A and B are shown apart, each in its own frame.
Chain A
């Protein structure tokens, strides 16, 4: 009964003003899938992608994807970006952009309407692994001069509460220790190792900046996805012998390897 007068009053109270901001900018980290092209002959690309996506449709649905050209950048053969795009889109993936191509390839990509991603976010351009351990030791020796160096304390981040669906925790330049459970739909990310002492049911991404020596340690593995330095396995690719076990996960010959304790 009061509806109309209430709405009018509300409108009168809030005139459009130029000083009311239309947006805000925030830094954020998105975990992307990297699609690394291994050859320029793309006759079977659509078919193979289709098969891969079908193995874990839920995981891939609308997932952001970066097309990485490191392995083919030496090639002078032109790439069919339009064909790549339509294969990627028809699998419901969101192509964010292209990176690490030759100048000619990137120009072609741009002409096909794609965005170019800066190299600095990719692991080839970033020696994340070595700089992580280097800064670790230098902070250690520096501590001799200064009492209780706060820098050395920040090499792991500890989370005491459960990490719930929709939440994300990121340990930048450090390890991540979680003394509770990680729910399905939650994401825990570290540039270093990840330790989970409750159930690991969400996604765990270690070595997020390319440290291939990073590991994931967990007491009970039920993860939706595990990833080390960009190499990953989804739940469908985790063998049943290691499910619900206490395990460590590491990279061996560029393969995500799960080992029972």
Chain B
């Protein structure tokens, strides 16, 4: 029986899809059968980031409407045996998602996978609601800015009061914080909130801070999850975050600004 994990934030552009892809790949690398489900109806881009957009034939909505079965719609990731994605539909009709349809799909994925990662769209509308409704755990992606933290706080409130687990009085959704696009230099200069500030405001356990990094953009342009990069700090930060998600206790590596020495500036790191 899989765990359903929603990656959500309230705001767009904070790094949800990047994080969903990185966690999908990271969990698959650890040997877990993992599927990443794109809930961003009309704006799908998970398949692009994961480099399998050309192989999309059927999507989420086709399965809901009975035009295809789930196995026809799932796409295996190129580089990893354990990783699949279920692409979002390009339809503009947001009502194509129904609660029964989403439940049917997630329940059938639960049977065959260890982790079902739901990549939530921005906002608190239908798509975002369905992405979080059935979740067992939530990864709240936040940027170190006041407005992003406020949106995340709002989403935490919705998880605690509108999700299936809360409505049915079950054990609450397990919450995790992931700080994305973290820039220790700008934190030090006072232009960004620090990890401590964000944790003080949201008060949920921290999976890690992923530094702002060119490697993320390059990896997604090539359609390769950044954790497979092997030599970028963002990739390492995601690898650590996945390990913490799985219960490992690791020291945080990327929280504080370190002035680069001559050699590391020369050779990059």
Residues of A within 8 A of B (CB): 1-3, 6-7, 9-10, 161-167, 181, 183-186
Asked, given contacts A3-B92, A7-B93, whether A185 binds B153 with beta carbons under 8 Å apart, the answer is yes
Q: Who on chain B is nearest to A198 by CB?
A: B203
Complex: A186 Cα to B157 Cα, angstroms: 9
Complexed CA–CA distance, A126 and B208 (Å): 53
Nearest CB of A to B99, in Å? 14
Enumerate chain B interface residues (CB-CB to A < 8 A): 58-59, 61-62, 65, 67, 89-93, 95-96, 150, 153-154, 156-158, 160-161, 172, 201, 203
Q: State A147–B65 Cα separation when bound (angstroms).
A: 58
Secondary structure dominating the interface of B: helix
Q: Chain B contacts of A6 at CB under 8 A? A: 61-62, 65, 67, 89, 91, 93, 96
Task: Determine the distance from Cα of A3 to Cα of B156 in the docked complex, in whole angstroms.
Answer: 33
A residues in contact with B158, CB < 8 Å? 166
Known contacts A2-B62, A6-B61, A6-B96; A164/B91 CB under 8 A: no
- Asked whether, in the complex, the Cβ of B93 is within 8 Å of the Cβ of A10, the reply is yes
Known: A167-B157, A167-B161, A185-B154. 15 other contacts (CB 8 A): A1-B90, A2-B91, A6-B61, A6-B91, A6-B93, A6-B96, A7-B93, A10-B65, A10-B96, A162-B156, A163-B157, A164-B156, A166-B157, A183-B157, A184-B153
List the B side residues contacting A181 at CB < 8 Å: 203
A185 to B150 Cα, complex, angstroms: 8
- In the bound complex, CA of A167 to CA of B157 (Å): 6
Given contacts A2-B62, A165-B150, A184-B150, contact A7 B157 (CB under 8 A): no
In angstroms, how far is the closest chain A Cβ from the Cβ of B254? 27
Question: What are 14 A-B residue pairs whose CB atoms fall within 8 Å in the complex?
Answer: A1-B90, A3-B89, A6-B96, A9-B65, A10-B93, A161-B160, A162-B160, A163-B157, A164-B154, A165-B150, A183-B157, A183-B201, A185-B150, A185-B154
Q: Flag if B203 contacts A162 (CB, 8 Å).
A: yes
| Chain A hits for B62, CB < 8 A | 2, 6
Which residues from chain A contact B95 at a C-beta distance below 8 Å? 10
- Chain A residue numbers with a CB within 8 Å of B154 are 164-166, 185
Chain B, residue nearest A167 (CB): B157
Given B91, B157, B160, B203, which contacts A3 in the complex, CB threshold below 8 Å?
A: B91
Given the complex, which residues of A lie within 8 Å of B91, measured CB to CB?
A: 2-3, 6-7
- Which residues of chain B are within 8 angstroms of A183 by Cβ–Cβ distance? 153, 157, 201
A161 to B90, CA, bound (A): 39
Bound CA–CA A184/B61 (angstroms): 38
Q: Which residues of B contact A166 (CB under 8 A)?
A: 154, 157-158
Task: Give the Cβ gap from A221 to chain B, nearest Cβ, in Å.
Answer: 15
Least Cβ–Cβ distance between A252 and chain B, in angstroms: 32
Q: What is the distance, in angstroms, from B68's C-beta to the closest C-beta of chain A?
A: 9
What residues of chain B lie closer than 8 Å to A186, measured between beta carbons?
157
Would you give the shortest CB distance from B267 to chain A, in whole angstroms?
Answer: 44
Chain A nearest Cβ from B143, distance in angstroms: 16
CA A184 to CA B59, docked complex, whole Å: 39
Residues of B within 8 A of A9 (CB): 65
With both beta carbons as reference points, the residue of chain A lying nearest to B42 in the complex is identified as: A3
In angstroms, Cα B161 to Cα A186, docked, is 14
Determine the distance from Cα of A207 to Cα of B161 in the docked complex, in whole angstroms: 26
Q: Which of B153, B158, B160 has the most CB of A within 10 A?
A: B153
Give A201's nearest chain B residue, CB to CB.
B201
Return chain B residues, CB-CB under 8 Å to A10. Answer: 65, 93, 95-96
What 5 pairs across the A-B complex have the smallest Cβ distances? A164-B157, A165-B153, A167-B157, A165-B154, A166-B154
Report B53 CB to chain A, min CB distance, Å: 13
Q: Which residue of B lies closest to A161 (CB)?
A: B160
Give the CA-CA distance A3 to B158 in the complex, in Å: 31
Q: B204's closest neighbor in chain A, by CB?
A: A162
List, in ascending order, chain A residues with CB within 8 A of B201's CB: 183
Q: Report chain A residues within 8 Å CB of B93.
A: 3, 6-7, 10
